[in-house]
Amino acid sequence: MEFNIENLVRDNIKKMTPYSSARHEFSGDATIFLDANENSFGSPLTENYNRYPDPIQSKLKEKISSIKGVPSQNIFLGNGSDEAIDLLFRIFCNPGKDNVIIFPPTYGMYEVCAAMNDVQVKKVPLLENFQLNLERIETAIDPDTKLIFVCSPNNPTGNSISRNDIEVLLNNFDGLVVIDEAYINYAKQKTFIPELTEYPNLVILQTLSKAWGLAGLRLGMAFAGQPIINYLNKIKYPYNINTATQQLAIEALGNISSVNNWTKTTVEQKEWLQQELLRLPFTQTVYPSDANFILTKMTGASAIYSYLADKGIIVRDRSKVILCDDCLRITIGTPEENIQLIASLNAYTA
């Protein structure tokens, strides 16, 4: 397959001239900034937030580059992974014409972004074992299919998608394969990042919201070949990552040991919670998970959800989602939270 990104990009995106901010037009060192109509006197805060943030997030990308082993020019940073997802639709999908493929049950924002951009979604449900149905995917692909979204580990099922199956897509689809690795820190399966040099049609999404514990900062990462990254940078808002987020993320990325410890504890707690859930008389199945949550099938799941909510314990009711009948999705909490959850479930009577 001879992949050519120019065959995928919308014509209006190719032709558009990106907005050039004052800080885009200057590079180097300076002491007096009179170019961006900022308040030169400062801000009411202790930090100097009167200046616009670095529009290309240079220092933060350098830090991420050193951790992920990816050159800075292959990194895009967004306001959560959702920004990157939305921009991929805007770049590659002509409204009212093109389509994308998703594999339900999966992360809901793919379909939401498609709707916002007037792009058709083709749904190819996962098999009963929550793996890809390659035969149906092949049938679903047509000349107007631009993106395929693979969530691995998958949300809400928790399992990793077969690496071989993903490689089949990468080798045989002439659009973009977007692998959402939001939960990769918890998985036994390795990231696809090393394969970026092999597959020019590969986009990998990761986030600092899960294992890194920075959900409140809203910082998502996309890794891809430079032509794709260039287009993402072309159409993003000029200052999409604020200064506080950049500073706090750099600080957090210097504390890998804590993240590794939390991840280890989460995996241990997940194994404990799986065993405890299996002891409950109303638990039918606890599905294997490579994420920081468990999908469990329970008799009367919606009633159990309401019962827990009354106890002040909020889980996710996935009962109405395809292949997830009578299922609750339970995030792994602290040891104390998990003990409280099991105690409440042990006290439950239908």
Q: What is the CATH number of the domain that holds 238?
A: 3.40.640.10
Q: Are residues 203 and 125 in the same domain?
A: yes
Domain final position from 221, 254, 287:
254
Q: Are residues 216 and 282 in the same domain?
A: no
Give residue 31's pLDDT: 82
Q: Are residues 261 and 250 in the same domain?
A: no
Q: Are residues 134 and 33 in the same domain?
A: yes
- Per-residue pLDDT of 240-283, as tens digits, reads 999 999 999 999 999 999 999 999 999 999 999 999 999 999 99
Q: Are residues 230 and 265 in the same domain?
A: no
User: Cβ atoms within 10 A of the Cβ of 82, count?
Assistant: 18
Give residue 26's pLDDT: 72
Any idea which residue has 């794709």 for tokens? 228
Exposed, middle or buried by CB within 10 Å (0-12, 13-18, 19+), for 184? buried
In a domain, 238, yes or no: yes
Beta strands in 256-304 (DSSP E): 283-286, 293-298
Q: Are residues 27 and 89 in the same domain?
A: yes
- Per-residue pLDDT of 139-184, as tens digits, reads 999 999 999 999 999 999 999 999 999 999 999 999 999 999 999 9
Q: Is pLDDT of 1 > 70? A: no
As a whole number of angstroms, the distance between CA 187 and CA 190 comes to: 7
Task: Give the pairing type, strands 283-286 and 220-224.
Answer: unpaired
CATH of the domain at 262: 3.90.1150.10
Structure tokens belonging to residue 12: 């209006």
In a domain, 225, yes or no: yes
In a domain, 5, yes or no: no
317 or 48: whose pLDDT is higher? Answer: 317
- HSE (side-chain half, CA atoms, 13 Å) at 337: 13
33 or 18: whose pLDDT is higher? Answer: 18
Residue 19's identity, in one-letter code, is: Y
Plot region of 118 (φ>0 → left; ψ -120 to 50 → alpha; else → beta): left
- HSE (side-chain half, CA atoms, 13 Å) at 180: 28
Lowest mean pLDDT among 21-35, 81-95, 320-334: 21-35
Give residue 101's pLDDT: 98
In a domain, 4, yes or no: no
Q: Is pLDDT of 25 > 80? A: no
40 within 8 A of 52, measured Cβ to Cβ: no
Residue 231's identity, in one-letter code, is: Y
By residue range, what is the domain housing residue 117? 10-254
Q: Are residues 159 and 297 in the same domain?
A: no
As a whole number of angstroms, the distance between CA 313 and CA 305 comes to: 9
As a whole number of angstroms, the distance between CA 149 and CA 169 comes to: 11
In a domain, 298, yes or no: yes
Q: Are residues 60 and 167 in the same domain?
A: yes
Please give the model's pTM, rounded to 2 decimal places: 0.95
Domain final position from 227, 254, 281:
254
As a whole number of angstroms, the distance between CA 133 and CA 156 comes to: 17
Going across the sheet that includes 283-286, the strands are 283-286, 293-298, 327-331, 316-317
- Per-residue pLDDT of 87-143, as tens digits, reads 999 999 999 999 999 999 999 999 999 999 999 999 999 999 999 999 999 999 999
Structure tokens belonging to residue 70: 């990816």
User: Cβ atoms within 10 A of the Cβ of 63, count?
Assistant: 19
- Per-residue pLDDT of 191-233, as tens digits, reads 999 999 999 999 999 999 999 999 999 999 999 999 999 999 9
Q: Are residues 221 and 274 in the same domain?
A: no
Domain final position from 254, 269, 287:
254
Q: Please give the mean pLDDT across all residues of the chain.
A: 96
Beta strands in the chain (DSSP E): 75-78, 99-102, 120-123, 145-151, 176-180, 202-207, 220-224, 283-286, 293-298, 316-317, 327-331
Residue 17's identity, in one-letter code, is: T
Q: Between the CA atoms of 30, 33, 34 and 40, what dihedral angle is there, to the nearest 10 degrees?
A: -150
In a domain, 191, yes or no: yes
